[in-house]
Structure 1
Amino acid sequence: MSTQTAMPVRHHHAASWAVPVVLGLAFGLYVAFLESNNGASDTRTTVSSTVGGAVCAVLCFAIGRVQTRMSRERRAAAYGAVFGGALGYMLSISGQTALEASLVGLFLGLSMALVTFYIRYTQEA
């Protein structure tokens, strides 16, 4: 009989990668829709939607991987930053000025951070 202990097996749930992929695809498709409605070239539409969707998916995956090790405040700030940045970027593509898009993105990011903090604060003991 062996005295070696077995190494724990790490199981990754499908949601840990499926949710970021779906969010990235949705973000990329909506960016493509906004770009094409504003008369952008096909190359610009393809590049901005692909890069935007990939960045969104990677950021969502990264936050999902480390969120259990983060404090409530940092987790809320991370969710708020990604949400506000994504919506600010979409607003800038849709024709808003950079200042308007930045202010609305900042406001929505702060709102998301507050909501996330409240949910985590009331759910965690």
Structure 2
Amino acid sequence: MDQHAQRHGARAARSHGTVEPEHGATTAARHPELAPGTSGMKGRARHIPATVSLPIITALAFGCFIIFRTHTAGIKGGPAMLYGLAGAVVSGALGLVVAHFQSTLITETRASAYGALFGCSLGWVYSLGGEAILKSCAFGFTMGAVMFVAALYVFRTHRTREPHGLHRPHKTHHRDDRSHRLPAATH
């Protein structure tokens, strides 16, 4: 071992020139995608953010629900699959847009965006079952309102996770700070 390593307490490994993992070397334990026998896709899947994976998973589930709904309404085979595919692609793309821009939206607008996407999607699927347009619109509006209230509740109760921090934080006024007060009225 060289003198520099001995002076700083480092230990060289017994093999030729490798460093023990406890001294800062990258190992498979710290980075599972580097482990031998691990596929590259599995390692990359751990790095997909939730703002991408959740809308895609939701869109796939929504597409399956559309296939189920159209199949039970009497549409068989290929057309039901096309409805499901179209619904999954459109709802997935809109979900990705909402999830991407949600950090720039205030709380009420973000909850409205999720409510509108959810309500329009479910209203359309409800109409695929042969229901009247007015009844489908009322169902979609009701489900959108429910999603708006649920999203608003979640966003307001989890303020620390919001991108904008606390919702409209109020400034505290100290009695010693007289520079922000208006002058007393004189008559």
Structure 2 length normalisation: TM-score? 0.57
**What is the CA-CA distance between 1:109 and the residue it aligns to?**
0.4
Matched, 1:77 2:112: yes
Distance 1:16 1:106 in 2: 25
**What is the CA-CA distance between 1:121 and the residue it aligns to?**
2.1
What is the DSSP-based 3-state SS (H/G/I as helix, E as strand, rest coil) of the residue aligned with 2:87?
A: helix
Which segments of 5 or more consecutive residues in structure 2 lack a partner in the other structure? 1-46, 160-165, 167-187
User: Aligned residue for 1:117?
Assistant: 152
* Aligned residues: CA RMSD: 1.5
The alignment of Structure 1 onto Structure 2 pairs a total of residues equal to 114
What is the DSSP-based 3-state SS (H/G/I as helix, E as strand, rest coil) of the residue aligned with 2:89?
A: helix
Distance 2:68 2:157 in 1: 38
User: Aligned residue for 1:18?
Assistant: 53
Structure 1 length normalisation: TM-score? 0.82
Higher helix share: 1
Distance 1:119 1:20 in 2: 17
User: Aligned residue for 1:56?
Assistant: 91
Distance 1:121 1:15 in 2: 20
Identity of aligned residues (%): 28
Distance 2:57 2:157 in 1: 28
**What is the CA-CA distance between 1:94 and the residue it aligns to?**
2.1
Distance 1:84 1:75 in 2: 14
Aligned to 2:135, which of 100, 114, 119?
100
Amino acid in the other structure paired with 1:17: V
Pick 1 or 2: higher relative contact order, CA cutoff 8 A, min separation 6.
1
Which segments of 5 or more consecutive residues in structure 1 lack a partner in the other structure? 1-11
Amino acid in the other structure paired with 2:116: A
